[in-house]
Structure 1
């Protein structure tokens, strides 16, 4: 729903004249015709007999590029194995009882940067004492292969991309791995094909939560992955040892820029799993993805403690629910992706009944012939502070609906409106012509503040601040990527407030008495926001996936630099000057921001004289929220509120948020932030809040707060401490009821 953005660079095309075939054996081995010999020499230019011409290859340490001599680790099984390619091999990890070099090593060969089909073979005719593993670059080829009488060898092919001039094979994760032969060939046309860039969890990761999901970060050449090609046949998750397929939902984000594999019943603790993405996955232009394979091992199941919830079917199903909240009339309200507002009575046990469908927004869209009518996407919902049980007034955000596929949603097409009157049947547009992206970044949530103003989370138009083709080359606007503040007392007496800031519009949020102003900037794509009882405004925010573009600081500085939100506090803006980045190679994490007035939170916007992504790269060491694509010494924006930035998890898609206010669990949860993670976690994480409003690292794995299907939002019925979670992937609202734990009994 509120996915990540990324840029378009594809994998580098390999030099199509380069290929190699290596036969591993002893110093006296005569390699099979067409192959060159490796018998354990340190990495260097090869000049010996049967070692080709102009090739550089050999062995290095497991954790460094230091050349390693494994001469003596080769074996030849002779006539016991009639296939000469399999009869000879080399121990990558030699047991203590065998003659040779006991230090394990990796094998490398110098190759032009590019994408290759790499085929590896492991095994041994006369011995079954191995659990073979081969990692090729950042992918897995062989995992835990144990030979048997009926299967002595295993051969596998992967398609890794090399970017450092060396193709690397590692036995990490194996025991006494025996490498027989390798063939390397370029993948023709790889630079025009989409691919997996990286996965979370990464290849060979251990201690992975059994309750999360697997997310592949994509390297696109077009507008996004075709969701129709994602299935259990094209993307698989299996137990590595048994090959048992894990039942899972395979989906993408609203932006079409990730592949998310969500097990329907969680994973087993302490178990190895293999993710495979095949060429059956295609992008929206019909181009097949390069194949991918990786493995990871789960840790313990977690859970326990004094907080636990039980999941219960609420009775609300069959809609693409986005946001949810309890109304002043004691009923539960939920918005939908296609423009409905639903409401239910809440029974004494928390379940929902007497469903009512309110079509006011869709009716208005049809009457005004809005783009995509009658569909509209409602995310923001907030009841007016003056609402009563008999006369509720609901403020909403209304956006053109992005159904997925080729992105082309019109800019300046989002709005804020009020629903009032009997059954909320009266539609009153309050703010018109808010910006929006071509995909699913739009005008998101609403929250009334303690000052009576309405606070609005407005999404970014692109990935990392500069236009990119995946996001329709749409630039940031003056009001995008920000938390906005609307003062209802300053609204015009009649008609909506037109806030289009570019021709033919002329709205100026800096003007005296402007009703809609910039409260905080650089907030990339915040789905939700909440005013805590401590007076702080918190907003979970989606960071970008890898591949986006950032803007360069122009010289001279533009006129927008005289109207930054921090000019009053810090004076005229003079820098720093930063270079543009294209196809940023690393993803941003997701955040929870402790939002403060007139501060900046890391998403560049040239129209506001904001140029630096996240924390920049100020030192040669590790820096908070750094962007290593910048040259070392690149300072963060002077207005960055680093102390108000908290890590919600890579590819989390941190979305809905509440402050838990009930007294359940003896008050153990009261005052804490509950943040919904739509993507990699598919759960609700819990942040502690101290007396200064600072957040502690999140707690995950709480019983009852895991195993959702693309959850988006959460709300609390404070009377009972029950939670209601919208699950977009399951078209339902799930009820969570506090339950006693052993710690409470």
Structure 2
């Protein structure tokens, strides 16, 4: 057997010195020893009472050449209790033909957990040059934790054995239990005949790597199951995931209602059972009181719209095109303060044009009157409606006094744009989604918007007082896309910009007019209503609806501003003939908005294709069927409105909180600009009838323009927020049962 000898000299001058202690009689302090400074000449050093002797020698370590172990160590990984894992290791003699054989004697498992490892190899094997032998080591854990052991091989002729190291880990199987945090689940109070919606939270409590849980059914039982509506479809929960199931609660009978719930699932635990309870009360006995507070710490400039986003921040649009993102905190009853987290200027910086399409570089603002925040807390998305910041119109008198020249600001009547702002790190990316929307010479512009079924519904103001071009509206007619609720398929548009196709303007050379789609040119270059395009008509007949709202049951509503005397008349026949003055004062009116519905304000351009533009090349902007119903003026109260409201009424929102025993849930809340008040409109259960109108608060600062209400589960639930345009503040209505 090949042997290798390693020799070294070991100097034990200090640590390995042999110390002999004299015990017979101590050496006196005067005794001396041979050598210098205590050195006796041999390298040993003596001290009083001790003799130190250096030892020197040679040692021999025998190791084996040619033994290969592959792998030299291994880890079988994580095992579930009850499982086992094996690893094959190859022992090889890699020496040349003349090399001596390697004799492996005993093979023994040692280390921290030798009893949990086993091996097929018992040792006592001789390897000739070129020979191999396979050794299998198995971990079969008997309790959880980290495991380690070594297979020690005793080699004939070797000073030390060879050790093959093995490791692993074991744990009990992961399980997933389905839980719900509340049992019983109290849904609170609901008004008699009304409905509220609360959430049942389900959670998969398994840790990462545990099984998914499939929830297949939810079964209602108990005393009053008919009072509860489980809005459920089968779902799957990943480990650690929570999901919510909506529960509708309501009854036509007063009193406490209870029901049992069984959640059927395939998790580790049994089906989850819990109790539902709630109380149905007479709404006449439930007062709806609010206190009015002002948001402190924030400076605004002519705010026009507001909404809380999914991130809990308050988004406020200003009249010059800025959007301010506010952090809001509540430090007790009615004590609200805010700070500006971000100011977004990308909409304000959009270029403006004159009505002939030329760029107007003297303008450096945009008018924002519509704001919608969607997305998620991590990725909010802002949708904005903006237009030319100028306002013309007005002036003149029917009897000929005063200025008889229309107040024409040459503003761009095609200046409306739908923008999309997407959060990008600390900033926002702006996309102009649709350009060329109509905007009147007065202040009737693209206004409120919401998302329904993945599409944007956008309200566009009218260009006339009662349908006919008039002096105070600077003589322009209704356009193909004015005075309507538009339906915009933003998914079809995608990440680009849809420039609305326009008429061929006779005042600009070429078919494709310069700077299209901008510059409406009093209708000669207006956007067309084309078949199959991403911008379509959803509902028509709205003179100047400022906002649109959707209640929890999915129904849509808008409040339209009524006409004014001497600002213009209904159309003559179905024409766009100019009628200088005329018209009547009519109240604002609340409409239930459905697809294809007509709210009573005429648009002869859509009513008849005989209304053409560009005398040298007459064209109708309507490329779909005309709608003759839009030739007829219907006075508020006779136009299908659910109710009328005195004074300018603009912002509109749905109350989605269960405060006051749910008495206001699903009602509408609107901002009374002229009356400096916030109104509640109490709707019937089916949403088709107004049961009552009440003033929630009055004598607000000048003047509430937009309004937003927070729902259950949102920050500051049950509160109502309003921007006051002239006094530049945010007003908060806090419910008495907050």
Bigger RCO of structures 1 and 2 (CA < 8 A, at least 6 apart):
1
Higher-strand-fraction structure: 2
Q: TM-score, normalised by structure 1?
A: 0.48
The alignment's TM-score, normalised by the length of structure 2, stands at: 0.49
Flag the structure with larger Rg. 2
